[in-house]
Structure 1
Amino acid sequence: MGLKAVLSKWFAAWANRELEQIRHNAVQLQQATFRQLIQQAANTAFGHDHAFTQIKIYEDFKQRVPVRDYEDLRPYIDRVTHGEANVLWPGKPAYLAKTSGTTSGVKYIPISKESMPEHIKAARNALLSYIHETGKADFVDGQMIFLQGSPILNEKAGIATGRLSGIVAHHVPAYLQKNRLPSYDVNCIEDWEQKVDAIVEETYQADMRLISGIPPWCQMYFDRLSVKAGGKKIQDIFPNFKLFVYGGVNYEPYRTRIEESIGFAIDTIETYPASEGFIAFQDTQQDKSLLLLVNSGIFYEFIPAEEYFNEHPTRLSLAEVELNKNYALILNTNAGLWGYSIGDTIKFTSVNPYKIVVTGRIKHYISAFGEHVIGEEVEQSLMGVARQQGVDVVEFTVAPQVNPPHGGLPYHEWFIEFGKAPSDIDAFSQQVDQALQQKNIYYTDLITGNILRPLVVRSMKPDSFINMMRAKGKLGGQNKVPRLSNDRKLADALADYVI
């Protein structure tokens, strides 16, 4: 064991003491965060507009600050992006994280000098938590790869601007820089396929021990490594590869194929980073849910998902949440986002400590007939049946077919790219439909009431989703395929790829 590994164990024990405070004093830490945020932003334009000096308790805050999405908050953000200071947070942002929105086009999320360190600390503590629990630290002595966006930053009104992963690349601790791949030049390649090919060439003979990224794009990297190695498994190419860190999407639909590519069931750490803040990470290998980071400059609010589109939805603080209930996640941050709907839904699996699972996107659902089917339900239904039948799912998405071209009852249309297809697609479809009915009573009522017919599976050609994303200019990086749509835009884009 090298010196870095030895030191990391000591560092991990130190970091775990802070995590113990998060586990056991979450509500108090959230109350302290709330007070600090209100105090620091009191003299900003937003603070003046919403009478922050009169806010003493959370109830005061709810009366003065409405829930907003990006478009609602945009008038303030536009002032920031035009160079005005003290708008949402004291001074100007350190960075603007550039993201792609489905309704807002390009979005610019402020990152402050106070919030940036929290992103780095959370990523660090996710690894240190793993080391502390398992005692496995050898990976820090080898090389690590972070599949991410380009670190080249532009400027907007004098503020450095780029993708979150590219911004974070400038803050990787010095003690990890020598271990880190790809090189800066390769990381700067914008075209994703060229970049993956260059990464393969650069890392093929490296002592790779940790790999991190969004699962579908890591799978592309694994596939191309395997081709270069004449069909070898990743464990044969990187015999010391022991830890896979991921975020951005639910891992379960990708797990079987990734483990098949690697050659064994590798240890994994799930993280929940966003441009708006680093929200949670998996702090134990014994539990897949994520520890909510309650002292990282974010005050959380929660809206019961079924109330989200109400004119006056219920808003809850951490102390008021219930287990196993679907909530829309609302953020108030030390980068100046207030009552901000990030668009995700979560459930609490524990309140001692507060741990969550991400269940989907508040706007990614199907409710063409009032069924309100969510991402968690379709993923669990599909993957449960797939595991039973030994079926390999590469990628999928679901959309409503309200006006079937050949008449008959409407239905949910599932576009699925199989690695290993079911022997009987009709029987497979029926089982997935039954699984979904067990999870969503409204969907069941529509089926039994002859309002909907059972779901229809469309088998897709190999690489359908990659080709579709390529055609849209959204291949790689932080781009993801939506699991659910309430319209036909994505379904229509996939029509030419159906077998």
Structure 2
Amino acid sequence: MTTVRTSPADPGPGAPALSPWTHVNQSSVPPAFLTGTRRALARQRAACHDAHAPSAAVFRDILDQAEGTYFGKRHGLAAVRTLRDWKRAVPVHSYSDLRPYVDKLLDGDANVLTRSEPYALLRTSGSSGQPKLIPTTRHWRNAYRGRALYAQWGLYFESVGMVPGATVLDLSWERSSTSTSVGDYPSYGISQRPAAVSSVDWLPPWYDESWFQGVEGESYRNGLYRKLRLLAGADVRLVVALNASKIVGVAEVLAERADDLVSDLRNGTLEGRPCHGGADPDLASRLAGIRRANRGMLRLTDLWPGLALVVAWNSASAALYRPWLDEVTPGVPKLPFSATGTEGIITIPVDGHRSAGPLAVDLGLYEFVPAEDRDEEVPLEPDVETLDFHEVEVGRTYEVVMTQANGLYRYALGDLYTVVGRIGQVPRLDFVGRSGFGSSFTGEKLTEKDVYLAVRAALGDQWRSLPLFSCVPVWAAPPGYTLMIEWADDLPLSPDRFAEDVETALQQLNIEYADKRAADRLTPLALLRVPPGTFARVEDRRRREGASPAQLKHHWIQRDGSLLTHAAAALAEV
């Protein structure tokens, strides 16, 4: 791995001040790292074909982690020997059920959920509007989560024929120093991890590179430009992100700032400041020529002709990005990122399927509740009957109950997966969305309760009776939401101020929504005022068209934009 470093010494009178970009590394992947990822991938593939042994090992480890803990004693886990014992002893939990155990950690108690003490609490949105705090331990990262990342990257390297000297652009997480404290614990999002736990945690070769590290106070789009500039001369073969929207965002920044990039390459600068990677006039001239030939356009494949694979989530609402992704990376194959979240990992891709992956049976215990036979909006009962992984059926959709060694025991994740096949002994799962009504273009996981509470807060004293409104996801680049609300002529509120207040409340209620708005990955909330009675007209029109009562149930948030179409048609009849 070639790294150019410069001394931080005083450059002397009259010399330009040194920029923060003290080195530029092409982030080439060394042979030993490639070998390690290949081994992890081979192990993951083997787990698919001999699934019961690794699943049993996970079960034993989870019981070991719970031994002697406050949770273990409360549930009599010392007497548990089988999965049947386990299901009888431990009820299915929502996060609110598990939160008291997290509160005990915050109060300074030890040995609460796991024998391995948490070193941080990962932060993600909760359905109540309060952030969920997920314990993360060194044992969990070293034994499970880190290893899983090596396996999926092994697939990506295998797919592009990765060789020493080739480069990646990793947008799936960022080494960031930004964190807050909750009690005695640091707290941050899963994609902003400040440090690796150990050498067996996910520790890629680009871990110390300037393009990879977060910069305090840097805007989202400026951060993307910095990555483009610092890797402009590299042989990038692979771009990896969680959300396809981020790759589309990189492509948009490249198109918007092509002139800046050509200038910086010609002058050896970054944002006009000295960049110690040096100038590359030949590359600057080549890109300028491509722009002229393409009517001012510059695409990722122009910058990196060797780009051979793009990785991102590619199911549920993330699938809406497929046309955009294909447009900005024409002809480049696509593979999915693992089905992963703050709470744990569900699937790890091991082959060329574009959206679905096999259940990660060696990373946790997974139980399944058929989704077709129950009301999605009602939480799972604590004693709900569940199926094990070998009992699910191809073609059916299930809600997942997950147990991982971080202390989330029989946790009702709220995620729905359809079984689309099998790999060896394990089901291949395709994520189809969240149970209950909600929306998530870029991982914001906006819920009905978020919208309801935000509108109620914005109306304030004007909340005299139940107003009719609904939040509608509107697909665009970037996407956003339109709040359709029946608006009386005598309502003494400024529409613009009301929309701003709803937007502010949504960001306060949902930290992921706030993050995506701050990064311009979602547009500001739009307000659509309609006359009183509009929702009734829509319902009447749809009833005449044959809609069932279940289809006419009012929701504070919609799954798609069809409400706007129905409303326009209903109002045209007036």
- TM-score normalized by the length of structure 1: 0.70
Matching residue of 2:139: 114
In structure 2, stretches of 5+ residues that fail to align are 3-27, 259-295, 449-467, 478-501, 508-513, 523-550, 569-574
Q: Please state if 1:87 is matched with 2:112.
A: yes
Going from structure 1 to structure 2, the CA distance change for 1:287 and 1:179 (only over 3 Å counts) comes to same
Matching residue of 1:225: 254
Q: Determine the C-alpha separation between the residues in 1 that align with 2:561 and 2:94.
A: 27
In structure 1, stretches of 5+ residues that fail to align are 367-374, 380-394, 400-409, 420-466
Matching residue of 1:487: 555
**CA shift for structure 1 position 301:** 1.2
Specify the code of the residue in structure 2 equivalent to 1:350: G
Matching residue of 1:126: 152
Deviations 1:171-198 (CA, angstroms, capped at 9, x unpaired) = 5755512685624243x44643453454
* Contact residue 80 and residue 92 of structure 1 kept, 8 A: no
> Aligned runs of 1:348-427 on 2, under 5 Å?
348-351=419-422, 352-354=424-426, 355-364=428-437, 415-418=473-476
Q: Please state if 1:155 is matched with 2:181.
A: yes
Specify the code of the residue in structure 2 equivalent to 1:231: M
**CA shift for structure 1 position 81:** 2.5
**CA shift for structure 1 position 336:** 0.7
> Aligned runs of 1:89-488 on 2, under 5 Å?
89-117=114-142, 118-132=144-158, 134=159, 136-138=161-163, 141-148=166-173, 150-167=176-193, 170=196, 176-177=205-206, 182-186=211-215, 188-189=216-217, 191-213=219-241, 214-229=243-258, 230-247=296-313, 250=316, 251-286=318-353, 288-296=355-363, 298-305=364-371, 306-307=373-374, 309=378, 311=381, 312-351=383-422, 352-354=424-426, 355-364=428-437, 415-418=473-476, 472=507, 473-475=514-516, 487-488=555-556
> Aligned with 1:97: secondary structure?
strand
Q: How many residues align?
A: 411
Going from structure 1 to structure 2, the CA distance change for 1:334 and 1:415 (only over 3 Å counts) comes to closer
**CA shift for structure 1 position 293:** 1.4
Q: Determine the C-alpha separation between the residues in 2 that align with 1:232 and 1:30.
A: 48
**CA shift for structure 1 position 6:** 4.7
Deviations 1:89-145 (CA, angstroms, capped at 9, x unpaired) = 11420221011223241111011111112222211111212434x461148632423
Deviations 1:192-225 (CA, angstroms, capped at 9, x unpaired) = 3453454445445554332222111321221111
**CA shift for structure 1 position 84:** 1.5
* Contact residue 70 and residue 104 of structure 1 kept, 8 A: no
Q: Determine the C-alpha separation between the residues in 2 that align with 1:356 and 1:31.
A: 21
Matching residue of 2:76: 51
**CA shift for structure 1 position 7:** 4.5
Going from structure 1 to structure 2, the CA distance change for 1:398 and 1:293 (only over 3 Å counts) comes to closer
Deviations 1:350-374 (CA, angstroms, capped at 9, x unpaired) = 34242211111012369xxxxxxxx
* Contact residue 71 and residue 104 of structure 1 kept, 8 A: no
RMSD: 4.3
* Contact residue 27 and residue 319 of structure 1 kept, 8 A: no
**CA shift for structure 1 position 70:** 0.9
Q: Determine the C-alpha separation between the residues in 1 that align with 2:103 and 2:354.
A: 41
Deviations 1:453-496 (CA, angstroms, capped at 9, x unpaired) = xxxxxxxxxxxxxx979984332699998xx9973257999999
Going from structure 1 to structure 2, the CA distance change for 1:486 and 1:360 (only over 3 Å counts) comes to farther
Q: Determine the C-alpha separation between the residues in 2 that align with 1:90 and 1:182.
A: 37
Q: Determine the C-alpha separation between the residues in 1 that align with 2:474 and 2:521.
A: 15
Q: Determine the C-alpha separation between the residues in 1 that align with 2:68 and 2:313.
A: 36
> Aligned runs of 1:9-48 on 2, under 5 Å?
10-48=35-73
Q: Determine the C-alpha separation between the residues in 1 that align with 2:563 and 2:233.
A: 40
Q: Determine the C-alpha separation between the residues in 1 that align with 2:520 and 2:55.
A: 31
Going from structure 1 to structure 2, the CA distance change for 1:162 and 1:249 (only over 3 Å counts) comes to farther
| Structure number, greater radius of gyration | 2
> Aligned with 1:98: secondary structure?
strand
* Contact residue 70 and residue 113 of structure 2 kept, 8 A: yes
* Contact residue 155 and residue 351 of structure 2 kept, 8 A: yes
**CA shift for structure 1 position 232:** 1.0
Matching residue of 1:61: 86
Specify the code of the residue in structure 2 equivalent to 1:59: R
Going from structure 1 to structure 2, the CA distance change for 1:217 and 1:486 (only over 3 Å counts) comes to farther
Q: Determine the C-alpha separation between the residues in 2 that align with 1:33 and 1:363.
A: 30
